[in-house]
Amino acid sequence: MSAEPVSLELPMQREPAAAASLRAGVAKQILRLVTRQVPVDVVLPDGALLNRRGGSRTEGRPGIVLQRPESLFGRLAENPKIGLGEAYTAGDWHAAEGTDLADALAPYAARLSGLVPGWMLRLSRLVDLPIPADQRGAVEHTQENISAHYDLGNDMFAAFLDPSLSYSSALFDRTRPVVEQNLQEAQLRKVNAALDLAGVGAGDDVLEIGTGWGTLAIEAARRGARVTTITLSVEQAALARERIEDAGYADRVEVLVQDYRHVAGTFDAVVSIEMIEAVGERYWPDYFAALSRLVRPGGAIALQAILMPHQRYLATRNSYGWIQKHIFPGGLIPSTTVISEQAGRVGLAVTRTDRFGADYAETLRRWRSAFLAAWPSIRSETFGEEFRRTWEFYLAYCEAGFRTGAIDVAQIRLEADGRDRS
């Protein structure tokens, strides 16, 4: 392959309408090819099926309706990694009657690595967008990226989260049917599992990186620990302080609006729940160096991290997708290989990994159900129909990924590996 990538700019400048039409036509044929491999009926406005000649929908099979197919094809032609979600937000397509959105997306997630032929993947750089400079994790941009998501408003999140206000995967009791367990008890089980993994007990000094709304800090203080918890979300910090005070632990917990790179001192345990995904790959060395610096000899670190297979991480690490554009600016999901490598470079070792991806799928299913049920109270001038459809797609898209194993979540224990870190 030549050193410089082939460019689509010249023909698009000469004949923009013709070029756009050509690209949309190609996108249509690729979509037809992809959908033929997946047991989901794709229905055109006239009732015909995009992925099968003749016939009608198969009973019991998930279905997708293309309300405005040409608009969808145009968005996919412009950028397939972003266009599908933006097309859902715009109303170009929707789940068929009787089909749950996650059920429609899951068969695609399950076949993610084999849907598109290799030659098409090699052309992906023609449509891949680079990660914007302000989403690469630099200190001056990190607070903006965090605020873009978490400062949407405490009331918005409270409308669909459980009373613990935990916005990360719950951990369900595998000895009991999931339907018998409420989300709050499963979230507290997750929190206490992370504290157990880090060995948090009475008298310990604990650092939490990523406060959320204060539940983990409260549970650690309940054990008799002294807690410093940091966040970059001003709104989260304010409510976390209120909840900590109401729980009676204001004397044991300090909430700081601070970047992890600026924390001073050392701690018996460091706990961080689904924070690493927001760090940005460029700054993972800084993050792990901070973990190594902040934990005392003999102490432990507990990370809860969303994960992807290493090969998929390598294939997507430099591309810009829908989730990054519309939900989590600056985010990148690591693999266990990356975590082990980064930890090893600063004298830390992974000593335990507990995976529970299916629990995240169930957590997301419950969040989406609660979000849609609460929508009449969330809807406002700030949160309109496009916001609802964006968040519905986000929650269903992630649920499908966890349900099929395309992505996973785990609690990971890190300890000093015995090398001199001075």
Domain boundary (71, 100, 126) is at: 126
Q: pLDDT for 102-120, tens place per residue?
A: 999 999 999 876 555 454 4
Q: 379 and 309 share a domain? A: yes
Q: 386 and 89 in contact (C-beta within 8 Å)?
A: yes
Let me know if residue 277 belongs to a domain.
yes
| Res 272: pLDDT | 98
Neighbours of 263 (CB within 10 A): 18
Q: How confident is the model at residue 126 (pLDDT cuts 50, 70, 90)?
A: very low
**Dihedral sign (CA 34, 37, 38, 41):** positive
pLDDT averaged over every residue in the chain = 87
Given a cut of 50, whether residue 369 has pLDDT beyond it is yes
The percentage of the chain sitting over the pLDDT mark of 90, rounded to a whole number, equals 69
What residue numbers bound the domain in which 334 lies? 135-416
Q: 179 and 323 share a domain? A: yes
Q: Tell me phi and psi for residue 42, to 5 degrees.
A: -110, 110
Let me know if residue 300 belongs to a domain.
yes
CATH number at residue 283: 3.40.50.150
Angle at 211 between CA 338 and CA 327, to 5 degrees: 65
Q: pLDDT for 165-190, tens place per residue?
A: 999 999 999 999 999 999 999 999 99
**Count of helices and strands (H, E) across the chain:** 17, 10
Domain boundary (126, 148, 167) is at: 126
Q: 302 and 391 share a domain? A: yes
Let me know if residue 422 belongs to a domain.
no
Q: What is the rounded distance in angstroms from the CA atom of residue 302 to the CA atom of residue 149?
A: 24
Total tally of structural domains belonging to the chain: 2
Domain boundary (101, 126, 151) is at: 126
Let me know if residue 2 belongs to a domain.
no
Q: What is the rounded distance in angstroms from the CA atom of residue 136 to the CA atom of residue 139?
A: 9
Angle at 9 between CA 5 and CA 13, to 5 degrees: 165
Q: 333 and 188 share a domain? A: yes
Q: 292 and 192 share a domain? A: yes
Q: pLDDT for 286-299, tens place per residue?
A: 999 999 999 999 99
Let me know if residue 218 belongs to a domain.
yes
Let me know if residue 255 belongs to a domain.
yes
Q: 105 and 218 share a domain? A: no
SS (H, E, C) 99-135: CCHHHHHHHHHHCHHHCCCHHHHHCHHHCCCCCCHHH
Q: 104 and 140 share a domain? A: no
Q: 40 and 162 share a domain? A: no
Q: Which helix (H) or strand (E) holds 242?
A: helix 234-247
- Residue 132 C-alpha from the chain's centroid: 18
| Res 78: pLDDT | 85
Let me know if residue 233 belongs to a domain.
yes
β-pair partners for 303: 272, 412
- How buried is residue 145: exposed, middle or buried, by Cβ count under 10 Å (0-12/13-18/19+)? buried
Q: pLDDT for 216-261, tens place per residue?
A: 999 999 999 999 999 998 999 999 999 999 999 999 999 999 999 9
Q: pLDDT for 18-77, tens place per residue?
A: 666 777 777 788 888 888 889 999 999 999 999 887 778 888 999 999 999 999 999 988
Q: 265 and 379 share a domain? A: yes
Q: 145 and 329 in contact (C-beta within 8 Å)?
A: yes
Q: What is the rounded distance in angstroms from the CA atom of residue 274 to the CA atom of residue 356?
A: 13
